[in-house]
Amino acid sequence: MEIKFEPIGIIHSPYTKLHGMPIQPSAARGVEGRVEVDKKYIPALSDLEGFSHIYLLYHFHLAKSHQLKVIPFLDDQERGLFATRAPKRPNPIGLSVVKLIRVDINILHVENIDVIDGTSLLDIKPFVSEMEAVKDLRIGWLEKHISKISSQLSDKRFK
């Protein structure tokens, strides 16, 4: 069974190459980006500006194949792909929570963007922490690398 999606817009960021790019929003604090949504979806952007944070779902277009095990940026051991956020996934969908600064018609001005320039946008959802029933969080192999999460940048390993 094949599921077909079409980009609903394009994400612009200061990052034009993978090397040195932040690998998650917490390492990209303050980095500004622009999400250009296809004009036919303007009505669907109403009420979005009330939310301070939104999920962007996008296509990891540079990931041409997938790996089942990867050495993540934050570790020096191989880990199961689904226990990481590495981009070379069977369905290369990226997920980032960004800060929404303002909406100009069809342009979303955002901060904390950890996405390469020119990435295809698939969906936008409001971030509402009350919707996720998260209590007693454990973060597995990442626990011992927690201090690096806000500083680790990308290299070329997933190119």
Residue numbers 105-134 binding a copy of itself by CB under 8 A: 112, 120, 122-134
3 binds a copy of itself (CB under 8 A): yes
Calculate the alpha carbon distances from 109 to 81, 145, 150 in Å.
31, 31, 22
The amino acid at 141: W
65 binds a copy of itself (CB under 8 A): no
Query: Are 114 and 11 in contact, with CB atoms under 8 Å apart?
Result: no
48 binds a copy of itself (CB under 8 A): yes
104 binds a copy of itself (CB under 8 A): no
- Pick one of 18, 107, 142, 153: the residue that binds a copy of itself (CB under 8 A): 142
Identify which of residues 64 and 133 has a Cβ nearer to a copy of itself in the complex: 133
Binding mask 7-26 for a copy of itself (x = CB under 8 A): xx---------------xxx
HSE-up of residue 105 (Cα within 13 Å, Cβ side): 3
> What is the Cα–Cα distance from 3 to 9, expressed in whole angstroms?
19
